[in-house]
Amino acid sequence: MTNGEINLRALSELDLDAVTAIDEKIGGKYRPDEWETRLMYYLRRDPDALVGAEVDGELVGFMLGDVRAGEFGMEEPAGWIEVLGVDPDHRGKDIGGRMLQKMFRNFRERGAKSVRTLVDAESQAPLLGFFGKSGFSETPVRTLEQTL
């Protein structure tokens, strides 16, 4: 099993440490509590819809999201990509792309007609590039905000 092949599978509670480690590698911070809370949220909703990518038996990427309806007054169910990460040592091998395709299949099976995500154009510019290349385009929906 050391042929470098990419294997996609659902995530489970056993992946907590590996997901935390990928995030740590990307952002430089060890944040186990945050990832426990986050993964727990998705695990109890629809564990099969979570995607992990393995290379040689090691988790190197993850993508979390779910299908929701009613967001921003848009009634039809849409898939939402919410959190993702690819191990910096494994970038550019289409791992993000493959996980995205798997996510699309899961969303379709669950009745979604479209897929959406939110990206901070300033702090997450690379993600904007990734989603752009993957066929996403900007919508007219704008986030408005004021301090309370």
Partner 1 sequence: MIHNAEVSYIPKKYHEAVCNWRDLYLPDYDLLMNNWDRFFPKDRPFQLCAYRSCNGCAVIEAGDNKGDPKYTRAAQMSEPQADTLLKAVKAQASTEFGSIQQHQLTLARAQDEQDQFWILRMMAEELRHGYQMFSLLLDDDWKSVSSHSGEDMVEEILAMRTGTHVLGAFNVDFDSFMDSIVFCAFIDRVGKYQLSMQKISSYQPMAQSMPPMLTEEAFHLAAGVVPLRRWVQKAAKDGDALITMPMIQRTINKWFPRALDMFGDERGGGTFVKFGFKPMKNAEAAGQYRDEVAQVIRDLNVRFVRARVPELSRKDAQRIVDEKEPGHGFDPEELLYVPDVKFFRRRGPHAYQQNDIDGEPIENKSEFQRRIRGYLSDVYAAGRDFGGYLKLIDRIAAGELTPPEAVPMLPNLSRVGGVCPCSKAVRWVNGNGNGEPADPGEG
Ligand X SMILES: CC(C)(COP(=O)(O)OP(=O)(O)OC[C@H]1O[C@@H](n2cnc3c(N)ncnc32)[C@H](O)[C@@H]1OP(=O)(O)O)[C@@H](O)C(=O)NCCC(=O)NCCS
Q: Which residues contact partner 1 by CB under 8 A?
A: 12-14, 16-17, 21, 24, 30, 32-33, 36, 39-40, 43-48, 66-68, 109-111
CB of 132 to partner 1, least distance (A): 29
CB 116 within 8 A of CB 72: no
Closest Cα partner for 84 from 38, 45, 139, 43?
Answer: 38
Q: Write out the binding residues for ligand X, residues 96-115 only, by CB under 6 A.
A: 96-97
Which of residues 52 and 96 has its CB atom nearest to ligand X in the complex?
A: 96
The residue among 76 and 109 lying less far from partner 1, judged by its C-beta, is 109
Cross-strand pairs, 84: 63
Give the per-residue contact string, 47-86, with ligand X (x = CB under 6 A; - = no). Answer: ------------------------------------xxxx
Instruction: For residue 49, report the phi and psi dihedrals to the nearest 5 degrees.
Output: -85, 0
User: Given the rule CB under 6 A, which residues bind ligand X?
Assistant: 26, 83-86, 91-97, 124, 126-127, 129-130, 133-134
